[in-house]
Amino acid sequence: MIAGIGWLMMFPFHRHLIAFDKQASWVVAFLVVYYLLGIDFFSKSKRTSEILSVQISMLFWGIPFVLYYKEFEASFFRLLEKIFVASTAISAVIFLVYFLQIELQKIPLEYSKRSPFYFLPVHYLGMYYNTSLAFLFFGKTFKNKVFSFFLATILISSVVLLAARMQWVILSILLIAYTLDSIKNSLNKKKFFYLIISIIAISFSALFSSEVHRRIQETIDEFRSIKAKKNDKQTNHRVFIWKEAKSVCRNLPITGFKPGIADSLLMAKLEHVDAEFWDGEKVYYLRDGSYNYHNQFLQAIAERGIGIISLIGALAIVMFFSAHPASKYIVLIFVFSMFTESILQRQAGVFLFSFFMPYLALFSKKSKFNFSF
């Protein structure tokens, strides 16, 4: 909110060329509609207020890409990519130091606590790192190839060791796409060599990580126990959450129940789930925690009705075909992440989605109008 308001206030009141981006304005309009559909003027739920206070920033993050000085377009906006990638790489170094400390001391930690950043859980951290990798691989953020692959090595290592499994899937897609792109365009062999060396080094380092081993074995056990408990292992708790979430969505599919209320209805159903789960430290039950839908599509239907899914789908398709070279991969990162996380329930997800979707819209070649003040 402060960023958006500050951006508008910085315009001097004298004649100057200002650009208005039509495509970005449509993205911001979607974010406004998404937020407004969640408002319940008659509800006094504290949980509803908490969620809306997190989501209100989506109204403002896109403003700098709707109205801006024309000369900013060429340099300033691409500088944002450099700042984002560099800052995530720094956070990745912090994570790697933190992870090494945990591994050396053999500290038993709950999986969700394996991020050194309290407000940025491992799934979201992995999403940030993969987004930076998409910019590095396809957006050509930095001209220096050695520096780019040094950053890529750090980020790939972090995604692997974070052990957020959906982010492993996304990372695999990015690496395969980059490899095929390199072969197709006959890019510099030296550049491709750096990538292969990085992947081999990271793969060997992952072999010594007990957390990576545990998550791989856990994945195998969860697939084997989807229908029944096997070897004292129960499948992933998301399977149970999604099952109950679908029943909530079926009760009011047109308008939804509004934020907060939808979560309360889900928790009421989880009270009756007796399945046991292991978090790395202890056995737990779903009724003992506080859960959202762990799926942005189900979350959106439960809160705002099934119509919002068509809007999300339309936005994703349009942005997928943005002229930015990394756009299709960033959209895929968002969509895949939405299958296992309700990314618009946390500030980390709200920022990433609300900031970069309007940003990608800037690269639509026929979306700008110029105004003289």
With H, G, I as helix, E, B as strand and everything else as coil, classify residue 304. Answer: helix
pLDDT at 1: 45
322 and 361 in contact (C-beta within 8 Å)?
yes
Confidence band (pLDDT; 50, 70, 90) for 302?
A: very high
If one counts the domains in the chain, the total is 2
Checking if the pLDDT of 208 tops 80, the result is: no
Query: Comparing 283 with 230, which gets the higher pLDDT?
Result: 283
Same domain, 58 and 150: no
Q: Mean pLDDT score of the chain, rounded to an integer?
A: 82
Same domain, 54 and 128: no
Residue 5 lies in a domain: no
Residue 186 burial class via C-beta count within 10 angstroms: exposed 0-12, middle 13-18, buried 19 and up: exposed
pLDDT at 113: 74
Same domain, 227 and 255: no
Domain-ending residue, one of 178, 211, 232? 232
State which residues form the domain around 27.
17-70+236-363
Residue 66 lies in a domain: yes
State mean pLDDT over 119-138: 93
Residue 82 lies in a domain: no
Domain-ending residue, one of 183, 201, 232? 232
326-356 pLDDT, tens digit each = 999 999 999 999 999 999 999 999 999 999 9
Checking if the pLDDT of 230 tops 60, the result is: no
Domain-ending residue, one of 232, 251, 281? 232
135-159 pLDDT, tens digit each = 999 987 888 888 888 899 899 989 9
pLDDT at 373: 34
Query: Comparing 52 with 217, which gets the higher pLDDT?
Result: 52
Same domain, 228 and 108: yes
Residue 88 lies in a domain: no
Same domain, 217 and 121: yes
Look at the block and give the residue holding tokens 């030296």. Answer: 190
Radius of gyration of the chain (CA): 22
Residue 304 lies in a domain: yes
Same domain, 119 and 147: yes
Same domain, 114 and 148: yes
pLDDT at 29: 95
Top mean pLDDT of 198-202, 205-209, 216-220 is at 216-220
Strands (E) across the chain are located at 17-21, 67-69, 277-278, 283-284, 368-372
Confidence band (pLDDT; 50, 70, 90) for 295?
A: very high
Same domain, 59 and 142: no
Residue 91 lies in a domain: no
